[in-house]
Amino acid sequence: MKIWQLVMIHLLTHTLLFFTPSSQPTNNQTSNYGVDLPVLLSFKSFITSDPTRALSSWSWDPAGNGTSTASLPVYCEWVGVACSNRRHPGHVTAIRLQGIGLAGTICPQLGNLTHLRVLDLSANNLAGEIPGSLGRCTSLHALDLGVNYLSGSMPASLGLLSKLTFLNVTHNNLTGDIPMPFSNLSALSNLSMSSNHFHGQIPSWLGNLTSLTHLELAQNGLTGHVPPGLACYFMKTRTKANDVDQRIIFHNERISYAEIDAATNSFSPANLIGSGSFGNVYVGNLLLNESLATVAIKVLNLARRGASRSFLRECNVLRRIRHRNLVKVITVCSGVDHNGDEFKALVLEFICNGNLDEWLHPNTTTKSTRAFRRLSLMERLCIALDVAEALEYLHHQIEPSIVHCDIKPCNILLDDDIVAHVTDFGLAKIMRTEECKQSGGGTESSSFVIKGTIGYVAPEYGSGSEASTDGDVYSYGVLLLEIFTARRPTDNFIDGVTSLANYVKMAYPDKLLEIMDVRATYSGDMQSITDIFLYPIFKLGLACCVDSPRHRIKMNDVVKELNTIKKACTAHMSVHEF
């Protein structure tokens, strides 16, 4: 065969190979799926509990094409996973699964994610050791494992992470000394290792980390002197907590006791805007994200020292809850006051227009000097719907559900648009956990006294029943009846009536206009108001207040009923005044 014929055959063979479809993935796909996918699936296999079902999306169908709509691997759309689509298409660059209650251990295979830049597993229930294999994640910039139950020593291999700028392992059970290889972390600007069991001398080489601007070594067994010039909070022992201004960090928010003390003018009575079973509430101005903000500061009642780890974990979960009708939890302070006593407070969104109790009972509210205008029936309906939607979210849309335990008008705040915001959600569980820890018990106990308010507390709580969403429904029913009668459940009723629900039952269904709040504004004929509005509203309130928790309506059904009433009223208003 001639040479030119051999050349033509060679070219033809390569041409056919080029145009022949391949069932195999491309080199790029192979590199991604061959490393990143197995690592993520392995990570999931190491998780023993996922209460929010965040990892339910972490599933893989080998028969599928494995790509998302953006032509990236499907795992790039999994909850908490971010991928690069430029320099390294399809490679995992961030895993953010903070504050969702994950339990289990950290998968050693994470060290194979060589393009990982951020790993945030903070505020979970992870145990076991920190894998030394993370030292192979040479692209890592931020590693946050704070507020878990991790044990063992810090892997020296983390000293190989030359690009690391943020390292947080606060509030774990870590032991040993600070590894010498950490002296190679020249890019590190934030090193937070407080509230562990580290021991030994504070390394002098910390002063050589020129990028380091924040160092936390408090509440450990470390000894020696901190290199000068570092923004540091160091405690030699765990018991002398008043030697230093404690600081608890959530991401970039840093709120200390000293800052709260200054914001409230040393907890001046002039700044006190409320008090309840969980503690006092103060108004103050704090510097948050470089802006001065007016906030509400709830200082929790603590008779004895509690477990700050459980407190931080619960509060971090609350910080991530977002609903238009729930008061936003901004950050938290957990430390010690000037006397060395334990101090815990929540920093909350400030709602400026008073609480519902002040609006419903303006003549009996002695603490407020402002005048509250009369609320119309439609405004009251919208307030009731706002509260119901907030409770529906807490009961049915997050996992695990949150039981409020103290639904009452004082815990319903109104903004300038008369939109209702529920506050104090989640505090019952926090205080319950604290009380159990303080009493020496490892778990929550049914002996915990429900911190509700007389008149709003479900009857089954009196016989020792556990807190439940059904109990919240009962409290909501009392609230609903109060909104439209302006009668407190603790009022003295005539004819031997002992509860607000029984007071309404006596008027239902023929005398509802007689018990309606005289300050409620409306227009239209009485019969329409009764048929379209009062009758279904009071029927719903009584359905919430039945004695048997098993027979009470659920909160999602309450929302449906209120929306039906609202639609009927809106349709009637389009034809007639109401």
Binding-site entries: 298
Measured CA to CA, the distance from residue 82 to residue 94 in angstroms comes to 5
Phi, psi dihedrals of residue 112, rounded to the nearest 5°: -85, -5
Cβ atoms 226, 217 nearer than 8 A? yes
Instruction: Give me 89's structure tokens.
Output: 């298409």
Measured CA to CA, the distance from residue 221 to residue 218 in angstroms comes to 9
- DSSP SS3 for 295: strand
Instruction: Give me 95's structure tokens.
Output: 């895993």
Asked whether the bond before 400 is cis by omega within 30 degrees of 0, the reply is yes
Annotate 182-229 with DSSP letters as a single string.
Answer: GGG-TT--EEE--SSEEEEEPPGGGGG-TT--EEE--SSEEES-PPTT
Measured CA to CA, the distance from residue 545 to residue 551 in angstroms comes to 10
Measured CA to CA, the distance from residue 134 to residue 89 in angstroms comes to 22
Q: Which residues contact 460 (CB under 8 A, 6 or more apart)?
A: 470, 471, 549
Per the annotation, where are the binding residues for ATP?
298
Cα-based angle 337, 342, 346 (whole degrees, multiple of 5): 85
Cβ atoms within 10 Å of 49's Cβ, excluding its own: 10
Q: Where are the beta strands (DSSP E) in 375-427?
A: 412-414, 420-422
Q: Where are the beta strands (DSSP E) in 54-130?
A: 81-83, 92-96, 103-105, 118-120, 125-129
- Secondary structure of the chain: what % helix, strand, coil (to 5)? 35, 20, 45
Instruction: Give me 300's structure tokens.
Output: 């929790």
Q: Which of 50, 357, 386, 406 is catalytic?
A: 406
Cβ atoms 415, 352 nearer than 8 A? yes
Q: Which residues contact 20 (CB under 8 A, 6 or more apart)?
A: none
36 among known catalytic residues: no
Name the residues annotated as catalytic. Answer: 406
